[in-house]
Amino acid sequence: MGLELFDLGGRTALVTGSSQGIGLALARGLAAAGAAVVLNGRDAAKLAAAAQDLRADGARVHELAFDATDHAAVRAAIDAFEAETGAIDILVNNAGIQHRAPLEEFPADAFERLLQTNVASVFHVGQACARHMIARGAGKIINIASVQTALARPGIAPYTATKGAVANLTKGMATDWARHGLNCNALAPGYFDTPLNAALVADPDFTAWLEKRTPAGRWGRVEELVGTCIFLASAASSFVNGTTVFVDGGITASL
C-alpha cells in the first residue's frame, strides 16, 4: 500500500462554510485528491463564484446552499442531495464565526450566535450526514476545531468555549458512530491568514507577537491544512477516531 491510501477518487465531500477561507481551501484540496466536492454556504452568489473558481481548475463541484444552524433546513438539504445526486462520503464541518469583546461586556446575542454557528451546526450537519453513512457502514466526518480548543486569549472566551465543545462533540461522535464504520475526528488550525483573522493579520503588533510565540515563526497558509484533511478523509486514517489533530506551527507545544 502507498499513495492509494490517500486517493479520494469516487468519493463526494461536503464542506460547510466553503465559499471562502479555510473551507474553500479544503474543498480545493479534497478535489485535487480526487473527490467531488459539495460547497455550502448561505450566500448563493458567493457560493456560485467559489464553485466557478474550482470548476476552472477542473474540479467536480456541486452547490448546496443551506443555513447550517437550521436543523430542519439541514436535514432537508442533505436528504434531498442523497436521494437525487448521490452519497456524501466525507463531511467537513467548517462553518464558523468569531466575535471579539471583553468577556465582562460580551453581548449575549453574540454568544448565542457563536453557539449556534460553531457548535450546533456541527451537530445538525453531522447528524444529517451520519444517518446515511451509518446505513452504508462507512463515512468520514472532520470537524474544524481551533488552537483555541486547547488555549485561550483575551477577548474571545465564548469562541474558546465553542471550540472546546467541538473537540468533545467529536469524541462523542466517534464513541457513538465508530462501531458503524464512521471515522470522526477534528482538525485544529492554529493562526492562519484567513478572512476570519483579517483584523489580526492587519495588526503589526499582533503579527509580531505571533511570530515570537509560534515555534514556526509565522502565520499559517490555508494550503497547509489540506494534507491533514486528506489524511483524515482517506483510508489512511481507518483506525483514527475521536482525536483532534493540531496544525499550528507548534504553538500548542511550547510555552
Report residue 5 as a C-alpha cell: 491510501
Other Cβ atoms closer than 10 A to 9? 9
Which of 166, 172, 169 has the alpha carbon at shortest distance from 118?
166
Distances (CA, A) of 146 to 32, 118, 158, 201: 24, 11, 13, 17
Catalytic (active-site) positions:
159
- Residue 183: φ, ψ to 5°: -110, 120
- Residue 127: φ, ψ to 5°: -65, -45
Give me the sheet containing 36-41, strands edge to edge.
61-65, 36-41, 12-15, 90-93, 139-144, 182-189, 244-247
- 119 within 8 A of 168, measured Cβ to Cβ: no
The rounded distance, in Å, linking the Cα atoms of 254 and 56 is 41
Which alpha helices (DSSP H) does the chain contain, by range? Answer: 21-32, 44-56, 71-84, 108-114, 121-136, 157-177, 198-201, 204-213, 226-233
Which of 156, 227, 155 has the alpha carbon at shortest distance from 189?
227
